[in-house]
Structure 1
């Protein structure tokens, strides 16, 4: 007997808005060995190809980045160092104020937002995803999300995890709070370079500027040089600082593209302690893509669970029993309800406090496959909240 596929979108049983919508007056219908609640699925998008949608979320309040101000490039001494491209004329990062007052793009070509300055690794990732795109620097992650939502750009490419530094939890939070869809991923091999003014040798350096994570990832080389380390808001900002100040004793750790953008010399390449330093980026858009089966796909979801023993085991088992591999699992405390009190009188402990968590999971399956739809359908039966963040092709080329 043929099985009827159920397309999963966004669902919430008991979680208060904006994370989910409660459904009532439902009935269950048996399908095979599972029972599915179709009335609870009536707010989900239904299509045999597994087209995804997304529930509305609340707007995010403006934030001010806690970073030092950029050095004014106008302070550079005339004639000390000739930069082949005028730093003043480079595109400036968008701020939340710019976004609220600017008009949207004319759509003549793909515009891709990223966090940072020109020459940042995020810009490299954007150009890997869309080689002919127009890249748009943004002041922070929040501005990149809003730029897509307000039609200033077509896409955003933002980091989600690094093989050395771990996950970028801020972007996990913004994925849930904004109404964007994951439509792709980019894996970028990080090549940290030591940059300096033209003609400078690395032995002349006394100070090295970069993002704190980049400094940590190049600890061995920096210790051998015996330099003073100074943090910057990102690697491209460090390169711009060196080019603007024209200080021969100051170097920067940044990408090779940053050296090209700011007219600096590459003194040493691949200076990171771990050669296998890879950052994974997500491509975000206003609309989802139609998932296929012609190439390997990932589906990213977020959910919370009802209370009870073994519920996480049950959640993961819905994928294991269908031979669906999990490539990523991340847990974050649920901010709306970070603690719950449990009175377990049988154990002699009263008013024990436990964290409630959101679980972010990447599964290696397409929503066009019935096995993925059935897995999420079963997960919905005991999940307090469930949302599909996107279904997209995997990036298998470094």
Structure 2
């Protein structure tokens, strides 16, 4: 007996070149209605054609590296270190080399275990998220988020662990843009409790630290402790990279804010734990794959979508009400201006016209695509309100940080 499931799909009501929807199917077929139910046996065959349906926008991704006022660049301090004593605690050359754009050519994986890409160096919080999702996986470090996405697309790795939001720092907008640009599916999520540690060379006391290196967001999240210590905050590419720099330079007055795992990897000592200003510091990561998860109803599921709306009063309210009337909880809403054509002309009748921002709306709702209420809500949204609609993924909810 065939089980009932739901396809992950993309639709566009009108041609929309700035969204890259020229390859999407048009709604001009004249069909009176669309059914979103189908036999689960057909799902595997339809997944083969899903890549063509989920053609992404080709809008450019802006470089949104965070900047924190009063935080100096690590480059200026790194130049003063020159050829100081290198780290004697660990052979750092034995650590895996991060993937760069030049490495994205062919896959070295032998298929023996799951390989998960993440941005940063060994000891980064993203690596911890990858290991939480797949405890026996092989974490693969990447220089940039872009390389992690491409590594999955080019079959160098099986999955990618990408941070999407932090309970203190908010959404990571760059990765929302990359989600739309690349042909990947959200297959899971990980909520990771962040424990920022102050690290230093062995034998160094906390009072000896004069400058602290870390990612700008980590420095901002530990602002109170850093002010009490009276140290200089120095921006680094990532938290694990900061720990590696402190270890390799061997300067006793330099410390780093990173994870306890980074201290172990780079031969540093933990001078203080849980130094973040907010004790409830949780980062949510998305697990990305080439193929979507077959949605089920055996446990709580979350579905992520992105869409645009027609211009008009109350359009967003009407779109969101489609979920409320079906008792579907919205757990996340994020808006991002369209990149290539962010403005659209709006006619205010007798008062003239103006140009307003044209937005993409990213929505997470707590329901499985296998449920009729989710299918009906998306069908209603597509037919009545959305100019463009794409399902980014349907995946089990992670309830344990």
TM-score by length of 1: 0.88
Contact 1:196 1:252 in 2 (8 A): yes
Q: Does 1:389 align with 2:392?
A: yes
Bigger proportion of residues as helix: 2
SS in 1 for 2:104: helix
Counterpart secondary structure, 1:282: strand
Aligned residue in 1 for 2:357 = 355
Structure 2: distance between partners of 1:64 and 1:106: 34
* Cα distance in 2 for residues equivalent to 1:178 and 1:37: 27
2:88 alignment partner in structure 1:
82
Aligned to 2:10: 10
Summarize deviations over 1:242-283 as a string: whole Å, max 9, x none.
Answer: 000000011000000000110100000000000010000000
Aligned counterpart, 1:158: 162
1:202, CA displacement in angstroms?
A: 0.2
- The Cα of 1:25 is off from its aligned counterpart by 4.2
Match of 1:97 among 98, 102, 116: 102
Mapped to 2, the partners of 1:50 and 1:360 lie a distance apart of: 28
Closer, same or farther in 2 for the Cα pair 1:261/1:19, shift >3 Å? Answer: farther
CA offsets 1:133-165 (integer angstroms, 9 cap, x no match): 110000000000000000000000010000000
Provide, for residues 348-395 of structure 1, a one-character-per-residue CA deviation record: whole Å limited to 9, x for no partner. 2x2211111000000000001111000000000120000000000000
Q: Which residue is equivalent to 1:291?
A: 295
Within a 5 Å distance, the mapping from 1:248-397 to structure 2 comes to 248-346=252-350, 348=351, 350-381=352-383, 382-397=385-400
Q: How does 1:210-249 map to 2 (within 5 A)?
A: 210-249=214-253
Secondary structure at 2:162 match in 1: strand
1:85-164 correspondence runs (5 A): 85-100=90-105, 102-164=106-168
Give the match for residue 70 of structure 2: none
Gaps of 5+ in 2: 66-72
Answer whether contact 1:165 1:213 (CA < 8 A) is retained: yes
Deviating more after overlay: 54-63 vs 377-386: 54-63
How far does residue 8 in structure 1 lie from its aligned partner after superposition?
5.1
Moved more, 61-70 or 15-24: 61-70
SS in 2 for 1:318: helix
Q: 1:281 and 1:64, CA in 2 relative to 1: closer, same or farther beyond 3 A?
A: closer
CA distance in 2, matches of 1:250, 1:162: 27
Instruction: State the match for 1:33 in structure 2.
Output: none
Q: Which runs of 5+ in 1 are unaligned?
A: 30-35
Cα gap change, 1:157/1:352 in structure 2, threshold over 3 Å: closer, same or farther? same
* Stretch of structure 1 that moved more, 49-58 or 294-303: 49-58
Indicate the RMSD between aligned Cα atoms, in angstroms: 2.7
What pairs up with 1:5-44 in 2 under 5 angstroms?
Answer: 7=7, 9-14=9-14, 15-16=16-17, 18-19=20-21, 21-29=24-32, 36-37=33-34
Contact 1:181-1:390 within 8 A present in 2 as well: yes
**Closer, same or farther: CA 88–6 of 1 in aligned 2, 3 Å:** closer
Q: Give the number of aligned pairs.
A: 378
Structure 1 CA distance for aligned equivalents of residues 284 and 363 of structure 2: 15
Q: Which runs of 4+ in 1 moved over 3 A?
A: 4-8, 45-54, 58-76
- Going from structure 1 to structure 2, the CA distance change for 1:162 and 1:286 (only over 3 Å counts) comes to same
TM-score normalized with structure 2 length: 0.88
CA distance in 1 between counterparts of 2:117 and 2:60 reads 19
How far apart, CA to CA, are the structure 2 residues paired with 1:293 and 1:304?
28
CA separation in 2, counterparts of 1:306 and 1:258? 48
Structure 1's 180 and 59: CA in aligned 2 closer, same or farther, altered over 3 A? same
Contact map agreement 2:59 2:339 (CA 8 A) in 1: no
Q: Is the 8 A contact 2:300 2:396 kept in 1?
A: yes
Instruction: Return the alpha-carbon distance in structure 2 between the equivalents of residues 37 and 312 of structure 1.
Output: 22
Relative to structure 1, the CA distance from residue 325 to residue 170 in structure 2 (aligned partners, 3 Å threshold; closer, same or farther) is: same
